[in-house]
Structure 1
């Protein structure tokens, strides 16, 4: 006798239903027929939540009791708080269509039976967990955007979000999700300013021409004057001449945009002046997303902050900049761009040896050695036993990037590629901060020339600032070790967090928003990903 296919499937379905009923019975959820309606609700919650392990774990831990759809005042407060927060999602540059107030009301309003109410309960929790994740940790995953964004974001689980929310004041919990940094607050304000400016037509006509200088008087100067007035860099004036006031306004604009403040509106300055409101708004929105990536991270009472687009390194103490110096970052090629991440600085090395990375050794120096064995004579070749290799009679043409058997090192010296000091925060990317003999590069406006590490213009002063908490005379302490000419490791008594960040929009407490160029094109990729997720540019009427 042949069994039909449908009968075993029915038996499996019955078995599954009985198993689930048994689960509820064991949990004490099917005690008496009088609880039939409650059981229908809880069974619907359990079924709907089973599609998401984290949400299911939350509801199991509370016996499938509701947090949204119940009749308690707390449930009502949660509904009200979520609807209000969803209505304000656009202010945070979030994908509003994921969780509109109308969507929330529809989910709740369409549930007419206990089973439908159970499904609505779970849908509300899923929706809220997504909202909380977006607001607290960002809309997109950094590592999915660009290989140079290697920052790790510690995301909450839906279980922990819902558990904390259920135990907290709803409005207060939602308020606590967004970054509470002054930077984020100022970015939000600037976002609204730009949205209003966008609604009113932007900053007006762009400025024609390639270069405008003090003393000139023509239509292009008038266009420059009008645009800077609209941007808030110049008080209202009817002057048609590039006078001292206009020059001062141009200089301040240049300072705010990381340009050489010479007061001349050259091609680079005019390009930034003519950048539309929409582009600046995108920069602000991406900066908000980047700030969310750091949310919850302990930045350190003292920390080093390197903004790659700004070409500066700063030491921050208790929220204030106590030291600032120019920096050089990685060249804009696929294998040299400086990555973004955070780590801990543990020590500095005075009179460092440069251990040439293998990629540089094989890509740059091996071809030179193949042409001339005595090339780059300031570098030493070291074999696997640690001995210096003689170049006399060597045939480097027999080697390639795979079988090159030597390490290349440059001993301590003033001409060392690392200069006279390097600052180490050991990481898998082999990135650190260091001195350089190529001081002329710090005079450039844009400074992306390195192999990826961060070069500092004032490394000695940087070292003195780091050493100040642990020695009475940092300069003398440093010089004593420098004068030996020997490689010396100096441990930091208190390790210092280092944050390599990338911000094209930077809030200034007492000044205008600062903007920088997207040197690696990363912000453009981030905004594209945010747009794909549903984040939109918007114009807001005043």
Structure 2
């Protein structure tokens, strides 16, 4: 009888042996799969030079070409690491040239203009020229040239395919890097995703799969291809509108929830979306922008426009979760507003603070007689200002709270006349709502809680009340200047913050940088 310990030990030894055998078999198969590299290439090209090609000989040259081409690659570490780990196996050359995949890929690159991108950044011409050398049995003259061209075509194809895939799936640029007041979660390409291009089983299916499918994108893409011009704009300006907004659509920053609140700054509009349809919309007032008079446009821009210089009152782009509301809120007046506006008015009129229901605090203690203070010479750092609830409160009867770094929120306002204006970039940064009670009804739903909110909002002598939402509601504050409405008609809005100009400049600089690298 064999002891249990012996059985376990024997089984473990057998497993180790089997694993080692399987590993060696796999490795030998992997090596064997390319051991006839020269023979395969000769059969495909009919060029005798390839008879002497070996994986070992290629690896030596491949290393040198990788080093030489490093400065031209956008992801040199990833590409180098992949080939080092895979014995410099030229998968694109061996598996995708002679079935037409590489030419097909280059054809897609050549049509990158349909996405508002410059085909030159994907090196389609260079790829096709090298591919043609393999198809011409007399083009490659010697073994050194063969090794060099295999390595160069392999690296060029890998680099361009990664760039093309990233561009279509994530956009060319990271909005976080070009905008100072951008806080929306936006996914960018990672090494795991980029590495997938090395093992694509069906190139045609893959290239079709990464074409953006968003209906908005497809409509803008169709308009770009058609090459028309919008009313009141030149063809060039119209094209630039389409290009920058297609780039925005490629950014992975879109809502994933079925229900959410979304504010589009240039449209001065809020929508509550439910399963792709707007169930509530209203006018809003957003933060004052640097380009409210539209003097800086996509028609005329200069080198300095690529630098984002946000106006201090601009509403930021962000996403968060509305977690509660304050009915009849107290307004904790920001120090910047207090020093530039409240104290200035108080210096002119000693009864201003009392008339506006504004309390003054010094070291956390309420000042009983603020009209006795000389506000013309007082230090803003010394005081805090709070406006009590009431009809004149700048936040109106309700504000919707969500966590964010800019201390902005959605709120009511007593200044209703602003909603009659066409240009509504007028606030200090928060978003004023045209119909805040309707938004409360949607986020809370009908019932006792909403009824209480409606009742409290109607009181003449209200007390502040904070009420948590039964279910947090996602909120997105975005910036889109061109989109298709429900009828498929393209809508254009003025670039009130000048963010289109900045984005277009960065796109142009990116393409120019790629052209310079290609010329090296």
Q: What is the CA–CA distance in structure 2 between the aligned matches of 1:281 and 1:149, rounded to whole Å?
A: 24
The reply to whether residue 382 of structure 1 matches residue 406 of structure 2 is no
Q: What is the CA–CA distance in structure 2 between the aligned matches of 1:82 and 1:158, rounded to whole Å?
A: 21
- In structure 2, the residue matched to 1:175 is 208
Pairing of 1:210-359 with structure 2 (within 5 A): 273-293=231-251, 295=252, 297-333=254-290, 334-359=311-336
- In structure 2, the residue matched to 1:9 is none
Q: What is the CA–CA distance in structure 2 between the aligned matches of 1:350 and 1:520, rounded to whole Å?
A: 31
- In structure 2, the residue matched to 1:90 is 113
Q: What is the CA–CA distance in structure 2 between the aligned matches of 1:76 and 1:56, rounded to whole Å?
A: 26
Q: 2:172 aligns with which of 139, 154, 164?
A: 139
Q: What is the CA–CA distance in structure 2 between the aligned matches of 1:296 and 1:338, rounded to whole Å?
A: 17
The reply to whether residue 104 of structure 1 matches residue 127 of structure 2 is yes
Q: What is the CA–CA distance in structure 1 between the aligned matches of 2:65 and 2:332, rounded to whole Å?
A: 58
Report the CA distance between 1:463 and its aligned residue. 1.0
Q: What is the CA–CA distance in structure 1 between the aligned matches of 2:379 and 2:99, rounded to whole Å?
A: 70
Q: Which moved more, 1:32-41 or 1:76-85?
A: 32-41
Flag the 1:65–1:491 CA change in 2: closer, same or farther, 3 A.
farther
Contact 1:94 1:135 in 2 (8 A): no
Contact 1:44 1:116 in 2 (8 A): no
Flag the 1:67–1:331 CA change in 2: closer, same or farther, 3 A.
same
Q: Secondary structure at the match of 2:396?
A: coil
TM-score (norm 2): 0.74
Q: What is the CA–CA distance in structure 2 between the aligned matches of 1:106 and 1:159, rounded to whole Å?
A: 30
Q: What runs of 5+ residues in structure 2 fail to find an aligned partner?
A: 1-26, 38-52, 71-75, 134-139, 291-310, 513-520
Q: What is the CA–CA distance in structure 2 between the aligned matches of 1:457 and 1:405, rounded to whole Å?
A: 35
Q: What is the CA–CA distance in structure 1 between the aligned matches of 2:36 and 2:435, rounded to whole Å?
A: 78
Q: Secondary structure at the match of 2:422?
A: coil
RMSD: 3.2
Flag the 1:437–1:77 CA change in 2: closer, same or farther, 3 A.
farther
Report the CA distance between 1:80 and its aligned residue. 4.1
Tell me the alpha carbon deviations over residues 384-410 of structure 1, each in whole angstroms, 9 at most, x when there is no partner. 335456425434455445xx1222111
- In structure 2, the residue matched to 1:64 is 88
- In structure 2, the residue matched to 1:476 is 451
Report the CA distance between 1:60 and its aligned residue. 4.2
Q: What is the CA–CA distance in structure 2 between the aligned matches of 1:368 and 1:301, rounded to whole Å?
A: 46
Report the CA distance between 1:30 and its aligned residue. 9.9
The reply to whether residue 125 of structure 1 matches residue 158 of structure 2 is yes
Q: Which moved more, 1:73-82 or 1:51-60?
A: 73-82
- In structure 2, the residue matched to 1:444 is 421
Pairing of 1:473-512 with structure 2 (within 5 A): 475-482=450-457, 483=459, 485-512=462-489
Q: Which moved more, 1:438-447 or 1:368-377?
A: 368-377
Q: What is the CA–CA distance in structure 1 between the aligned matches of 2:342 and 2:477, rounded to whole Å?
A: 29
Contact 1:348 1:492 in 2 (8 A): yes
Tell me the alpha carbon deviations over residues 93-152 of structure 1, each in whole angstroms, 9 at most, x when there is no partner. 112111143222134456842244123312221222122222222223324444344545
Q: What runs of 5+ residues in structure 1 fail to find an aligned partner?
A: 1-26, 203-230, 232-272, 536-542
Contact 2:200 2:206 in 1 (8 A): no
Contact 1:300 1:496 in 2 (8 A): no
- In structure 2, the residue matched to 1:416 is 393
Contact 1:86 1:101 in 2 (8 A): yes
Contact 2:483 2:491 in 1 (8 A): yes
Tell me the alpha carbon deviations over residues 438-494 of structure 1, each in whole angstroms, 9 at most, x when there is no partner. 0011111121110111111101001101112xx546642422454582322222233
Q: Give the number of aligned pairs.
A: 428
Tell me the alpha carbon deviations over residues 239-298 of structure 1, each in whole angstroms, 9 at most, x when there is no partner. xxxxxxxxxxxxxxxxxxxxxxxxxxxxxxxxxx432233222212211111112x3644
Report the CA distance between 1:511 and its aligned residue. 4.1
Report the CA distance between 1:372 and its aligned residue. 5.2
Q: What is the CA–CA distance in structure 2 between the aligned matches of 1:478 and 1:58, rounded to whole Å?
A: 60
